[in-house]
Amino acid sequence: MNNYRRIKAAKGEEKCDLVIKNAKVVDVFTHSIIEGDVAVADGVIVGIGEYEGEKVIDANNSYVMPSFVESHVHVESSMLTVGEYAKLCAVKGVTEVIADPHEIANVSGEEGLKFMLEGAKGLPVNIHFMLPSCVPATPFDSSGCVIDSNLLHELMEKYDFYGLGEMMNYPGLLGCVSDVVDKLNTDKIIDGHAPLLTGKALNAYAAAGIATDHECSNKDEALEKIALGMYVLMREGTQSRNVTELAGAVNPHTLRRFLFCTDDRYLGDVIEHGSISNCIKVAVAAGVDPIDAIVMASLNPTECYHLGKRGAIAPSYKADIVISEDICAERITHVLKDGVLIAQNGKPLFDTTNAPDSAVRDSVHINPVSAKDFEISFEKGMDAIKVLPHSLLTEGCKVESREGLNLCAVIERHKMTGNIGKCFLQDFGLCGGAIAQSIGHDSHNITVVGSDTASMAQAVNALGKIGGMSVVKDGKLAAFMPLPIAGIMSDKSAEETLRLHEKITTAVKDISTNKDIDPFMMLSFLSLLVIPSVKISDKGLFDVNKFEFLK
């Protein structure tokens, strides 16, 4: 750190490395807009006023604001490698990412974690990986790997993990299961996952050192968690969208405890709408003040995750900067990281190289299936799953008629056990075909939904050993998207992956009647046994609230 040079540059006695001219500076500390130049030296902001620089960017009266932090995301859900995901982040104003790689860890264990860590090296976007705390998510899951408390602490010492990933096994924590509680023995930040937890149970969860939660679905839930000192991450993913509902909880007293995250978001949504910039847009539309929304996107997560002097346009803060023609960051023109331009006019200005991926390929291990494998005898009053609009929550229901129901199955794909859990779905809305994928949070077994058993078998068999996503319509394979990395990620560029994904999403529209769900995103969460209230695994229907299988 050359403080002599910074001091002289700040005083105007030396030329700065970079000056952003004609700026409307968003001041996150005084909730105001300051007009002037932004001066940068040695990658750090040194002043706001009138300055001269070796390089000049004319903001042309645009807004200059701190760049954004993605507070919780599973990069794997974008279906991209880390480097390709970083490019999408950069052009949308995100320069810091808190990522939990528990998707690939459930499939490939330590090899998967190494693949993600290697992929983040040398990127101008900082990817801070949390060590997954729940692999698998529950003791009832059939995952490819298991990370118990002993292995977890070995991995924490062996690799550069930033903290402990979301503690989803809150029943195990509340029950004082030793392996679960022992995982919390760390001096690093611990992320949470506690949907609808309240009262003394929530007190116990917070008392265990959990710092955050991204599963709030209503205002009262958010306020109760904030009152206990937790940070609430307002999520706006592809299927689960909570920002509008939670915006009413933002006030001058609670503002500094809210962050934004996307959790699980397809690459097409990131490309078209952004990630954290989209959260800002949605929050403002729901009544949040624009500058408050920027505070939630930058300063708050920086402080929550102890990221240092970032998150503000002020002297001594890192020059992580977004220039946008509008205050909601929908029209971003420049993105800088440590004073270096890394994206301009929607294009990344850096290249990436993929980490070796041979150890995480060919991860689907099942025998071919037949239509008979998916047959279920319908009984009036039997248990089923009801899907809900724009939510990852589901409800248990008793079905009185076969009409309008879809068949659903989860097939274990790691150890060739032959396990197949089956059920009926209400309100999923598939007609004349089936969809299948090797993405199934968090153990990533194969999940398939269809209108008939023959289509389901065809959709599953199309996945082969590499995995991916498939659509069958009228007895024919309408679309297939390979995901050779752990069965959950593409090895292609973002552009090529998007092209393949658009084919899949176009094909599924021909057989989907429910416009309030994303069929593949909903499909991927039907097997997540920690989101209420009823889910399906390779072993059958599971009651999340009771934490046991339905009889």
In order of 156, 456, 457, 492, 550, the CA distances from 447 in angstroms are: 32, 10, 11, 23, 19
Same domain, 113 and 239: yes
CATH code: domain of residue 203: 3.20.20.140
Give the number of C-alpha atoms closer than 13 A to the C-alpha of residue 515, restricted to the C-beta side: 0
pLDDT at 13: 95
Residue 316 domain flag:
no
Task: For residue 435, list its beta bridge partners.
Answer: 449, 471
Q: Which stretches of 389-533 are assigned E, i.e. beta strand?
A: 394-399, 405-411, 420-426, 433-437, 446-450, 468-473, 476-482
Written as one letter, the residue type at 356 is: P
Q: What is residue 475's three-state secondary structure?
A: coil
pLDDT at 239: 83
pLDDT digits (tens, 9 = 90+) for 215-236: 999 999 999 999 999 999 999 9
Mean pLDDT of 128-155: 97
Per-residue pLDDT band at 392 (split at 50, 70, 90): confident
Whether residue 551 has pLDDT greater than 80: no
pLDDT at 240: 85
Residue 329 domain flag:
no
Same domain, 375 and 353: no
Per-residue pLDDT band at 504 (split at 50, 70, 90): very high
pLDDT at 1: 66
Mean pLDDT of 480-497: 97
pLDDT at 12: 95
Same domain, 203 and 99: yes
Residue 7 domain flag:
no
Residue 85 domain flag:
yes
pLDDT at 122: 95
Task: State which of 294, 329, 357 marks the end of a domain.
Answer: 357
**How far, in Å, CA of 166 to CA of 137, rounded?**
10
**How far, in Å, CA of 100 to CA of 113, rounded?**
10
Task: State which of 357, 392, 427 marks the end of a domain.
Answer: 357
Whether residue 380 has pLDDT greater than 80: yes
Whether residue 257 has pLDDT greater than 90: yes
**How far, in Å, CA of 127 to CA of 76, rounded?**
13
Written as one letter, the residue type at 273 is: H
Per-residue pLDDT band at 391 (split at 50, 70, 90): confident
Whether residue 447 has pLDDT greater than 70: yes
Mean pLDDT of 315-343: 98
Residue 264 domain flag:
yes
Same domain, 274 and 401: no
Between strands 126-131 and 163-167, the pairing is: parallel
Residue 62 domain flag:
no
Whether residue 354 has pLDDT greater than 90: no
Helices (H), 68-101: 82-91
pLDDT at 246: 98
pLDDT at 2: 82
Same domain, 278 and 373: no
Residue 83 domain flag:
yes
- The dihedrals phi and psi of 100, each to the nearest 5 degrees, come to -115, 110
Same domain, 125 and 85: yes
Same domain, 352 and 368: no
pLDDT digits (tens, 9 = 90+) for 143-155: 999 999 999 999 9
Mean pLDDT of 459-478: 97
Mean pLDDT of 411-431: 97
pLDDT digits (tens, 9 = 90+) for 52-103: 999 999 999 999 999 999 999 999 999 999 999 999 999 999 999 999 999 9
* Contacts for 331 with CB less than 8 Å, ≥ 6 apart: 324, 325
Residue 246 domain flag:
yes
Same domain, 384 and 269: no
- Provide the number of structural domains found in the chain: 2
Whether residue 407 has pLDDT greater than 70: yes
Same domain, 420 and 537: yes
Same domain, 401 and 428: yes
For the chain, the average pLDDT equals: 96
Same domain, 127 and 258: yes
Domain residue limits at 421:
361-549
* Contacts for 115 with CB less than 8 Å, ≥ 6 apart: 104, 108, 355, 356, 357, 359, 360, 485
Same domain, 269 and 371: no
